[in-house]
Structure 1
Amino acid sequence: MTLYIIANPHSGNRSAKDVITTLKHKLNQEIAVFLTRYPDDEENQVKHVLETFQCNQDRLLVLGGDGTLSKVLYYWPADFPFAYYPIGSGNDFARALGLKKDFTRLIESTKQEPKEITVYTYQNGLVLNSLDLGFASWVINHVEQSQLKARLNKYHLGKLTYIITAIQCLIKKPALASLCLETESGELVEVNNHFFFSLANNTYFGGGVMIWPHATAYSEQLDCVYAKGETLWERVLVLLSLVFKIHEYSPYLQHQPYKQVTIRTPEKSLIEIDGEIVSLDEVILTPQKRYIYL
C-alpha cells in the first residue's frame, strides 16, 4: 500500500512539510508526496496521483485547509475514499466531523472502512462547509486581502484576523445579499438586502463559529440561515446569536432546510465558499456522496 499525500505548503502556519516528515518517521510504508505549487494547482496534483493510484490498496491523504480539501475533492473521483489532516487557519470541516490532529488515529483510520458523507457540487467546484453572501463573504474577502492574517498565522493567531475584520464589517456595513432561491420543488424564494445569508452543509464556518447547530455533512440537507440586520444593533444581535449558539431562539435568524437549490443573483456577486471567494451570478447546488477515513 502506498500513501499518496496532496499537501498545500502554504496552508495555515505552513506546517505541511513538518507533518509529512513526522508521517515518514511513523509509517513503515511507501509515501508519495505531491505539493501544490501555486493557487488552484490541486487539479494538476490530482491528475499526477491518479496516474499510478490503485483504489483497492492505496490511500489518499489531503493536508491543508478547507479550501485545499474542497479543491482536491472536486477533481478526485467521488467513489474513491480519502483521509484528511487539517492544517488550515479555520479547519471547520474537521471540527464538525470530530477530526483531531492525531497521527495515531489518522493512521488507524486508513485501515478501517470509510464513512459516508454528503458534499454539494456546483458548476465550478464543491461545497464542504457553507456558501455565504453578505457578512461572511465580505469578511473573508477582506481577510484574504489582508497582510495581517499571514503575520498572525506565524504565531498561531490567524483567527484574530476574522474577529478584527468582522468588527470592521459591523461599523462599515458591508454589501448586502440579494438573491433568488429555486428549490428542488421549483419554489422561488426571494431574499432581498439581507445582512447575513448562509447555506450550510456543516456546522461551522469562520474558524469555529456555528452556522446552524444541526447542520452536518452526515445528512443530505442544506440548512439555509439568513437575517435582515437593518440596524447596527440588529446586526450585532445576529452575530451574538451565532457566537452564543442561540440560533433556534433568536428572533433575528431565519432557517429553512433544502435538499437541492439554485441561487441566482441580480449580477455577479462575491460569494464565499469554504473560505474561498468566487464571483458568480448563478450557483446550482447538488448533493454528492463522498467517503472519508475517520
Structure 2
Amino acid sequence: MNYFIILNKCAGGGKARLLWPKIQQQLAAAGVSYKTFVTQYDGHATSLAQQLLGQLTDNQPAVIIAAGGDGTLHEALLGCKQYYSTNPSDHQVPLAFLPIGSGNDFARALNIPLHWRAALDQILNCTQAISVNVGRYVNLGTHDNGYFSNNFGIGFDATVVHDANQSPLKNSRYFGKFSYWVSVVNALRSFQGFKAHVKIPGQQERTFANTFLLTTTNLPYFGGGIKIVPTASAYENQLDVVIVEKPNLIQLFLFVSMIFLKKHLRLRFIHHYVGQQLFVSTEADRYGQIDGEELGAQTYQLKFETDQYPFWIR
C-alpha cells in the first residue's frame, strides 16, 4: 500500500509539529512506503489532495492520510470530492484520519484512537475501505457547494470559532484549548438571537424567531467532545439538525447540565430533526463554520443532503 500524508504541522496549536518526528520513526520502523505533503496555508490540503489524486494511476493501491485536526480532514475530503466530481472514477482513493489536532471529533465518532500511535497502527493494519456518510451543502444564493465530515454550524458555535481563531491564545501549545473557553464566555455575554427557517421535504416548514445555535451534523460530537446528537451516526444515510433557541440564564445552566447527561434534546427550547435532505435559511448575517473552519458572517440559504466517501477505517 502507498500512503500519501497531508500534514498540518500547525494542528493542535503546534502539537503536530512536535509529534511528526515520532510519527516518522514509527513509519520507518514499520517499513511503510509514504510521501508527505505539508500544508502551508488555509485551504492548502484541498489543493494538495486534488494534485496527488491527479498523479495516481487508476489501479495504484493508495490511501490519503489527513494528519491534523478536523479542519485538515475537512479540507482533504473537499479536495477528494472536488477531484472526483470532475474526474469520475469507480475507484476512489480512501481517506484515513490521523488525529493530532485539538478537537478530533471525527475520530471520537468513528472509534479512531485519539492517541496518534494507536491511530497510526489502526491505519496500517486496515485492509479495506468502508463507505462513510458525509454531508453535502449547496448555497442556493451563490450555487456554491461543499462537503463536511462533521457539521455545519450557524450562530453561537460559529461565533465561538471565529472569536477563538482571532485570539492570541489560539496558536499556543499550552493555552490553545483555553481560547475556546474564553470565546465561549465572551459570546454568551454578547450573542444576539436570529430568525431561522428549517424545511424537511414532506414536512411543514418551521420558523425560529430567536435562534441561538443551528447545527447540521453527521456525527454525535461537536466542539471537541460535546455530544450534541447522541444518536447521530456517520454510517446512517441521514443528517441531524439541532436548533437551540436563545436560552435565559436558568435554561443555559439546564442545557449545560442536561448535555452531560445526554438528555438535552428533551428540553423545550431545543429542537431536533432528521432527514436525508433539508433546507435552512436565516434572515440576518451570522457567523458560520464547517468542521471547525470559519465561514465569516453572512445570510444563509442552504440545501443539505447526504453523500458518501470511502474511509480507511478498521
TM over 0.5: yes
- CA drift at 1:247: 2.3
- 1:231 aligned onto 2:248: yes
Shift of residue 187 of structure 1? 4.1
Does the Cα contact within 8 Å between 1:203 and 1:213 map onto a contact in 2? yes
* Residues 134-173 of structure 1 aligned to structure 2 (within 5 Å): 134-151=155-172, 154-155=173-174, 158-170=176-188, 172-173=189-190
Q: Which runs of 5+ in 1 are unaligned?
A: none
Distance 1:180 1:237, change over 3 A: same
In structure 2, what is the Cα distance between the partners aligned to 1:44 and 1:248?
Answer: 39
* 1:59-102 C-alpha deviation (Å, 9 max, x unpaired): 21111111111111112046331111011110011111110131
Structure 2 partner of 1:120: 135
| Alignment partner of 2:79 out of 75, 79, 97 | 75
Aligned to 1:292: 311
- The offset of 1:248, in angstroms, is 4.0
Q: Give SS of 2:11's match.
A: coil
* 1:238-290 per-position Cα deviation (integer Å, ceiling 9, x unaligned): 23322332224434422111211122222443112211111442222121111
Q: Percent identity?
A: 27
Determine if contact 1:74/1:126 at 8 Å carries over to the other structure: yes
What is the CA distance between 1:39 and its match in structure 2?
1.1
Shift, 1:20, TM fit: 4.5
Give the match for residue 98 of structure 1: 111
Q: Identify the residue that residue 88 of structure 2 maps to in structure 1.
A: none
Find the aligned partners of 1:47 and 1:248 in 2 and give their Cα distance. 39
- From the superposition, tell whether residues 72 and 90 of structure 1 become closer, same or farther in structure 2 (CA, over 3 Å): same
SS of the residue corresponding to residue 139 of structure 1 reads helix
The residue identity in structure 2 corresponding to 1:32 is: K
Is the Cα contact below 8 Å between 2:62 and 2:93 reproduced in 1? no
User: Alignment RMSD, CA only?
Assistant: 2.1
Aligned partner of 2:153 among 132, 136, 144: 132
Name the aligned partner's letter for residue 284 of structure 1.
Answer: K
Q: Deviations over 1:93-137 (max 9, x none)?
A: 11111101313222102xx12122110122342121122222211
Whether the 8 Å contact between 1:13 and 1:87 is mirrored in structure 2 is no
Tell me if structure 2 keeps the 8 A contact 1:195–1:235.
no
Corresponding residue number in structure 1 for 2:141: none
Match among 293, 305, 310 for residue 276 of structure 1: 293
Q: Unaligned regions of 5+ residues in structure 2, if any?
A: 85-91, 138-143
Aligned to 2:46, which of 40, 43, 49? 43
- Alpha-carbon deviation of 1:55? 5.4
Q: 1:181 to 1:249 in 2, by over 3 A?
A: closer
User: Which position in structure 2 is the counterpart of 1:218?
Assistant: 235
Q: How far off is 1:47 after superposition?
A: 2.7
CA contact (8 A) 2:68 2:98 kept: yes
Alignment partners' CA distance in 1, 2:272 and 2:203: 19
- Aligned mates of 1:174, 1:142 — CA distance in 2: 12
Q: TM (normalized to structure 2)?
A: 0.84
Contact 2:195–2:284 (8 Å) recurs in 1: no
Please point out which of 92, 96, 99 is paired with 1:86: 99
1: distance between equivalents of 2:239 and 2:94?
A: 22
TM-score under structure 1 normalisation? 0.89
Aligned residue pair count = 288
What is the distance in 1 between the residues matched to 2:64 and 2:37? 11
Change beyond 3 A, Cα 1:239–1:132: farther
Q: Is the 8 A contact 1:133 1:177 kept in 2?
A: no
Letter in structure 2 aligned against 1:160 = F
More displaced 10-residue stretch of structure 1: 239-248 or 218-227? 239-248
Q: Secondary structure at the match of 1:217?
A: coil
Equivalent pair of 2:155/2:286 in contact (CA under 8 Å) = no
CA contact (8 A) 1:71 1:126 kept: no
- State the alpha-carbon separation in 2 of the partners of residues 195 and 269 from structure 1: 10
Q: Answer with 188-197 or 63-72: which moved more.
A: 188-197
